[in-house]
Amino acid sequence: MMWMRTDQTGKSPPLPLHPLLLAAALLVGTTGHAEEWTVDQWEQTVYYRHTLNAPEAGSALLRLTAADEYEVFLNGETIGSDDNWTTMEEYPVELKRRKNELAVRVVNRGRGNGSGLVVEVSAAEQSWVSTFGALQNFWYWSGEPQEDAGWQTKDVSRLDTWQQVQRGQLDRTGVSGWADTLQADVIAGFPGGIDIGQPAGGLSLRSVEGENLAFRLPSNRPAVFDGRFNTGWTVDPTELNAIAQVDLLNRRLISEVRVLTQGRNADEFVQNTLRGYAVQVSNDQFGWSEVGVLHGIEQPERTAIAFAPVFARYLQVIIAEVDAVQRAKVAEIQVLGSGIAPAGSFVSPPLDLGRPGERKNFTSVRWGGQVPDGTALGLQFRSSNDGSTWSDWSAPMHTSPALLQVPEPRTFLQYRINMETQVEDAGPRLDSLIVDFTDQIPASLVRGWVEPNRAVLGRDTLFTYRLELDFSADDLGVEQVHVALPSQIELEEIVPPPGMEIAATTASSTALDIVLAEPWRQAGTLEMRFRGRLLSNVFQFRAQVSGPDGGATLDAEENIEPDPDSGQPRSWEVSASGVEGTLLSQVRPVPQAFSPNGDGINDKTAIEFTLARISEPQVVEVDIFDVQGRPVRALYVGSLSAGEYVAPTSVPGLWDGRNDAGELVGPGLYLVRVRLLLERKEESRLRVVAVVY
């Protein structure tokens, strides 16, 4: 007997396979026709832009390096390229008076050499360097492909696809010819919030180092947290111990505070700078801890206090030293973080898996990496015939290995990696990815649709489901059909295509399985009529077919062509048009009396129930009590989606007659409680079960 959990999350539920189909699908990865495609190194291309304002035209020296290779342009002209990050290359350039447009295209090959670039431009009396967190002379980056050369010279500061850079990562000691006398920052941009340059390799969430965590957050002095140079805080000589406080909204891991002075030139910076300040942090605004203090400031334009990373929600800068005469003018206070970003995603290019132009059946996927507690790693896939028109993304996969459930056969495959963390000092990492595929194809076309596409939630509805198939001469043929169901059904009729016969059918609360008497190899439509109930707001009647003798398994696609009668697009999706019934129903122990004596007959009871009218997974508890109401056994606690949880396919509460200590209970009556916990209320049901010996 197999016990499985029903999952009806809505638009993209994973489609559970019948045991026979599941075994066949995993077996196909070991056949002679099976192939695998492996990736253990990723690639990103990032475009960088900066505008240099030169007071006079003249010669200058451009110096830069990047991980792992770059091509650099000035005013639309190619200056040079290099693929060795360990050398700081030099290029003599000619600057125009006023605006000069610097552009760099960087390709990171995922070799663990870091992320980003460092740039220095030196002229006779002025220099420019790569920097982040500035209020003027911004550096920008984009991860969007730049199809023409326009990106090299156009103003990108107001484009949504371009962002300001953050701190990057390069091993300065490993770069020859970098004296760092100009104190240039390593800068970077991370498409999708994913870093592929970490020394450990693989894909990981980007660092938040260099990101201003206080930007536009609640403060008693919002003018110094707004990211604007022309607003600020004027500090009078009498304002010793004045405070600028910011609420970071959540506990964040912070490690540096920067104070930027208002001014248009060096003289104004000197005149307007603070003389000294302290930084304090708190989690409740009552107890404050000082993490750094600065006196006798000599760097008037920008100062910083770095400290050991600390978790805090609130931060304040306190004026610790003032000039006796001059007012200080603070343009901006930046709070820089440590740790990693809370979420990110990586999307691969279209993949032909080394078999260009050929149709493929994508069978399974395996991956390796790390998923620490408090983090999540999920993979999604989609398929295409031409690399431009794609299917919907599959449901996220969190456990390796997993079956690939995308429309097939197709020429191209694409994947998306989704990463999340609830802790800022740890995140998931993906080290390798293997896709199993085969040229064994049961059918060239498999697509399904259902009628009606609207139903009252919880009410019995007559559905008609059609599965259309077409074949090429070398296709294997189809012997088994598997259709996902929203609930237990009453099967009324199956109409096979002409010349085909049904050998066997099996229906559960999650799926309908059909076995044909002979392999299906001619174009036609299989029609099924059945009564069932919609239990979630949306359900998709996904389907799979399998070749002869449990051969290759193929995922169907949705038929979205217009219906010839109504003109409306077809669909395999049914959505709720109304509501009938309760959230928690049909609670019962099966059998109601059982004898856990080890003879293999009625040794256990399954606590069945139905969840409806919930669009997101909710917490469910299944517990056993004695007739006095005392706890006996906590059977289950976890999040469940809408569905019928019935034996033998999907019961989370299975009682073997033992208590929480593992001891068999005595004979008698016991109470079963199933409780559904919602955000604002709860529903529970009590039933009686008998233990007999």
| Tens digits of residue pLDDT in 303-350 | 889 999 999 999 999 999 888 888 888 888 999 988 888 899 999 999
Cβ–Cβ contacts within 10 Å for residue 343, how many? 15
Spatial separation of the C-alpha atoms in residues 91 and 65, rounded to whole Å: 11
- pLDDT digit string (tens) for 36-79? 999 888 999 999 999 999 989 999 999 999 999 999 999 999 99
Give domain limits for the chain: 19-28+442-579, 34-40+342-438, 44-201, 222-337, 584-691
Spatial separation of the C-alpha atoms in residues 317 and 277, rounded to whole Å: 7
Q: Which residue has the tokens 């909710």?
A: 618
What is the model's pTM?
Answer: 0.70
**Whether pLDDT at 689 is above 60:** yes
Question: Ramachandran region of residue 626, left (φ > 0), alpha (ψ -120 to 50) or beta?
Answer: beta
Q: Does domain 19-28+442-579 have CATH number 1.10.3720.10?
A: no
663 band by pLDDT with thresholds 50, 70 and 90: very high
- The pLDDT of 612-635, averaged and rounded, is 91
**Which pLDDT does position 643 carry in this prediction?**
85
**Which pLDDT does position 230 carry in this prediction?**
80
**Whether pLDDT at 13 is above 50:** no
584-691: what fold? Answer: Immunoglobulin-like (2.60.40)
502 band by pLDDT with thresholds 50, 70 and 90: very high
34-40+342-438: what fold? Answer: Jelly Rolls (2.60.120)
Spatial separation of the C-alpha atoms in residues 518 and 148, rounded to whole Å: 56
* Pick among 2.60.120.260, 1.20.1250.20, 3.40.50.720, 3.10.450.50: CATH of 222-337: 2.60.120.260
- The pLDDT of 290-314, averaged and rounded, is 88
Spatial separation of the C-alpha atoms in residues 272 and 331, rounded to whole Å: 10
- pLDDT digit string (tens) for 464-491? 999 999 999 989 999 999 999 998 899 9
Spatial separation of the C-alpha atoms in residues 98 and 54, rounded to whole Å: 5
**Which pLDDT does position 650 carry in this prediction?**
62
- The pLDDT of 501-512, averaged and rounded, is 92
**Which pLDDT does position 529 carry in this prediction?**
97
- The pLDDT of 571-592, averaged and rounded, is 88
- The pLDDT of 90-104, averaged and rounded, is 95
34-40+342-438 with 44-201: one CATH topology? yes
44-201: what fold? Answer: Jelly Rolls (2.60.120)
- pLDDT digit string (tens) for 233-284? 988 989 899 999 999 998 889 999 998 887 766 666 667 788 889 999 999 9
530 band by pLDDT with thresholds 50, 70 and 90: very high
Which has the closest alpha carbon to 378: 353, 408, 400? 400
Q: What is the mean pLDDT of the chain?
A: 88
**Which pLDDT does position 265 carry in this prediction?**
66
Asked if 435 contacts 365 with a C-beta cutoff of 8 angstroms, the reply is yes
- The pLDDT of 85-96, averaged and rounded, is 94
135 band by pLDDT with thresholds 50, 70 and 90: low
